[in-house]
Amino acid sequence: MFDYTVLHWATFLTAVVLLELSPGADMAFMLGQTVRNGRKAGFAALFGSLMATFFHIAMAAIGLSAVIATSAVAFSIIKWAGVVYLIWLGYQAFFSSKKSAVTVPDKSPAAHSIFLQGALISALNPKVAIFFLAFLPQFVVEGAGPISLQLLFHGTVLVCVGFFLQTPLILMGSRIASTLKGNQNLRLWFDRCLGALFFTLGIRLAISKMN
């Protein structure tokens, strides 16, 4: 079981590395939390995102993502929930930046709250579910094991690679956090840029289509 060639692994791992390093809402949230609230917040966001990623992978493995891929209603419901959430995060960033300009910054949010937010960002993106439904089956090999187990196995490898690739980003981002704490103007600029990024990602998701 799970007997793959070197070429298979080389192709799969290359695709995974490119996928994990491509910017998106989950990476923006992770880096934003790291820079604003420190290393612990960054890891909480990362674990939340990875949990949602594995959820999408599990759904693809058992075929439920196909429902989203073929149902316009299901796609729209999840998409617009994601749009609203991203816009809300953008508003929060702008609101936080204005508030911090006249008051002492609030205590950092709890890790479990950041974890849930990171999970929601990925879970409420139907394009992610459809992507994994199209991506993972390309690496299923006849005779290497049950299809569902092969999908879960490759998905687990993807999540592990994502953790090891994004951990250095958190470690680097935590250094920036110390700079922001001592520079209120820089923190204000960063929060507004982060808010603008979430607004942009929300609009991009809003205009996305099933195909």
Q: Would you list the DSSP string of 114-148?
A: HHHHHHHHHHT-HHHHHHHHHHGGGG--TTSS-HH
**Residue-number span of the structural domain to which 71 is assigned:** 24-81+103-181
Query: How many domains would you assign to the chain?
Result: 1
Residue 196 counted as domain residue:
no
Provide the residue-wise pLDDT of the chain in tens; the chain has 211 residues: 777 888 889 988 998 888 777 767 788 888 888 887 888 888 999 999 999 888 888 887 777 666 666 667 767 777 787 788 778 877 777 776 555 444 444 456 788 889 998 898 888 777 677 777 777 777 888 888 887 888 888 888 998 998 998 888 888 877 766 665 655 666 676 667 767 777 787 787 777 665 5
Q: Dihedral angle at the C-alpha atoms of 192, 197, 198, 201, nearest 10 degrees?
A: 160
- CA atoms of 198 and 191, how far apart (whole Å): 11
Q: Could you give phi then psi for residue 140, rounded to 5 degrees? A: -80, 130
Residue 7 counted as domain residue:
no
Residue 62 counted as domain residue:
yes
- CA atoms of 52 and 90, how far apart (whole Å): 20
Residue 36 counted as domain residue:
yes
> pTM here?
0.73
Residue 51 counted as domain residue:
yes
Contact predicate 62/148, CB 8 Å: yes
- CA atoms of 131 and 83, how far apart (whole Å): 18
Closest to 26 measured CA to CA, from 92, 117, 133: 117
Kindly state the helix (H) or strand (E) to which residue 99 belongs, with its residue range: helix 72-100
Residue with tokens 């956090």: 177
- CA atoms of 121 and 78, how far apart (whole Å): 11
Residue 186 counted as domain residue:
no
Residue 97 counted as domain residue:
no
Residue 59 counted as domain residue:
yes
